[in-house]
Structure 1
Amino acid sequence: MPTAAPNQSIERAAAVLAALGASENGAMRASDIGRAIGLGASTTGRLLATLEKLEYVRRDSETQGYVIGTAVLELASQGLNHNPVHRESRALAQELAHRVGLTANVGVRDGAECVYLCHFEGELAPKNHTMVGLRQPLHASGLGKCLLLDLGEEERVRLLGEKLPRFTTHTITDHHALTTDLDEARERGWAIENQELALGRFCVAAPIRGATGRVVAAISISGRLTFLRQRTMDSLAEDLIEVADRISVALGMISAVPAHRMPRAE
């Protein structure tokens, strides 16, 4: 069956929302939105009027700038509530963040990226923004490494491409080195991210498995390296694995995954 042609109006409306979401300065004027998405003033104005009527955007009465509307927030909330990983991990991840005092995140793989489903902050790691919905590279993040554990090296190369982007001097940019790192993570049951995405930041992550035993998500604890003076990586991982196992059981995993069934590098 041939693929249907995309709907131009929907594509343009999505572009408006994407531009507003990517704005670094909050509200955007209609003219700035038009320039960002390459549309004329009249077309942009009609799109914004329709989106405002449907509450997908909201216009500030004083500045006349546009921001994301409540309908988008409502849809995002509904999408999360329909996701079984989010439902089963939310309370446990929140409890974990409170217990260890650091940030707890849950993520799933979407193509070649990790998308955050849950984000909770302990008292030692407050933030003024949420990570829910944000994306991270698979090869350079603790969550992402866990999401790669079921893939062999050839599969990872096809997924990520030959070149792995560098974010810091600690980023793994070689597929063979990544294979070694993932083999070690698979052996001990948890992955490490040590300043690979951002300097001064560490992360330990554990895979979450579904009913078949395959990795369906991952959960992590992260924070500044200075926090490791108070707790060892092993003790954090112990807490983390226990929570990951509880979520896996809630998702239907009823037995441990035999070592011979765990994918190895090709």
Structure 2
Amino acid sequence: MSETFPVYGTGHLGSVANAIDVLKAFGTRGEWRVTELSRELGLGKSTTHRLLQTLAAGGLVEQVAERGTYVLGMELVRIARAAARRTTLGAVAHPHLAELAERTQDAVLLTVLRGHRYLCVDVVNEAHHIISVVQLGDTVGLHAGAGGKAILAFQPTVFRSLVLGEPLVHYTDQTIRSPEELEVELESVRRNGYAFSDGEVTAGSASIAAPIRDADGRVIASVNATTSSSRMRELGIERYRDPVLEAAHNISADLGYVRPGGAGRGRGQE
């Protein structure tokens, strides 16, 4: 006797697939109106609204009533945090993030490459003087902020060209919007081994980030120390640069990466 199975895209399975597509849409854009999201996904407005309401009931998305939009919910953030720490990268990196946060007394972020954006997957925040930083689950264009530039600078030339060929989103007045200016900045990152940002994503915050490599030497993530712009100017870049480079090197080493011509751990090397 042959069995029959639901066809993907119909019935209850189709609803689940549509719900997954809704959640994935928040990975490319942090906030959606029902009309915009329905058009993006090719779903009816009423269907999209029902999906969002169901996800909101489970805490996976939240409605921002005053703006008439939806954002990711804290329950999904909690799930993402737990999942990130169970992955090899998350499990390996977290103790180093905690140590770096203790040393700097500032916010430390782990960001990973996701398409042409970077995703914040872990935060250890000792920066009680910081009002606003990139939060867990946020995604940002690779051209903006130290975390993104530390990843983008070490990607293959073809990949970088694709990113630079897209419109560069304007987060603040300090965001780099010229492909030519960004290419010069990325060359500096490759030369120095770390990226610097002052107000490129959030006005009034500055950060230093360094690339994290997997066992094959590919840059897959970055570690980022973030503080206020005024505190960075007061204490100096050097206070953050060397601990961030050390953390990135140690995370990479724990993932199995061995620098050409070197082995083992080293303080402040990358």
Query: Where does residue 189 of structure 1 map in the other structure?
Result: 193
- Runs (5+) with no aligned partner, structure 1: 25-31, 59-66, 259-266
Q: Relative to structure 2, which stretch is displaced further, 201-210 or 228-237?
A: 228-237
Q: What TM-score, normalized to structure 2?
A: 0.71
2:93 is paired with a residue whose SS is helix
- 5, 11, 16: which one aligns with 1:10: 16
- Report the CA distance shift for 1:189/1:237 in structure 2 as closer, same or farther (over 3 A): same
Pairing of 1:124-139 with structure 2 (within 5 A):
124-125=128-129, 131-139=135-143
**For the Cα contact (< 8 Å) 2:214–2:252, is it kept in 1?**
yes
Separation in 1, partners of 2:172, 2:243: 28
Separation in 1, partners of 2:26, 2:153: 35
**For the Cα contact (< 8 Å) 2:127–2:227, is it kept in 1?**
no
| Deviation sequence 1:183-219 (CA, Å, 0-9, x none) | 1111111101122222222111000111122211100
- Runs (5+) with no aligned partner, structure 2: 1-6, 39-43, 62-71, 263-270
- 76, 80, 83: which one aligns with 2:80: 76
1:235 is paired with a residue whose SS is helix
Separation in 1, partners of 2:201, 2:152: 16
Separation in 2, partners of 1:197, 1:228: 16
Q: Could you tell me which amino acid in structure 2 is paired with residue 189 of structure 1?
A: G
| Deviation sequence 1:213-245 (CA, Å, 0-9, x none) | 221110011111111244210221001111111
Query: Where does residue 119 of structure 1 map in the other structure?
Result: 123
Query: Where does residue 206 of structure 1 map in the other structure?
Result: 210
Matched, 1:95 2:126: no
**For the Cα contact (< 8 Å) 1:206–1:218, is it kept in 2?**
yes
Matched, 1:215 2:219: yes
Pairing of 1:236-255 with structure 2 (within 5 A):
236-255=240-259
Instruction: Give the deviation of 1:256 after TM superposition.
Output: 4.0
Separation in 1, partners of 2:158, 2:231: 36
Question: Identity, % of aligned pairs?
Answer: 23
- Report the CA distance shift for 1:130/1:177 in structure 2 as closer, same or farther (over 3 A): closer
Instruction: Give the deviation of 1:85 after TM superposition.
Output: 1.3
Q: What TM-score, normalized to structure 1?
A: 0.72
- Report the CA distance shift for 1:169/1:127 in structure 2 as closer, same or farther (over 3 A): closer
Cα RMSD between the aligned structures? 3.9
Q: Could you tell me which amino acid in structure 2 is paired with residue 169 of structure 1?
A: D
Instruction: Give the deviation of 1:115 after TM superposition.
Output: 0.2
**For the Cα contact (< 8 Å) 1:19–1:33, is it kept in 2?**
no
| Deviation sequence 1:21-42 (CA, Å, 0-9, x none) | 9789xxxxxxx9899865549x
**For the Cα contact (< 8 Å) 2:132–2:202, is it kept in 1?**
no
- 100, 106, 113: which one aligns with 2:110: 106
- 171, 174, 183: which one aligns with 1:167: 171
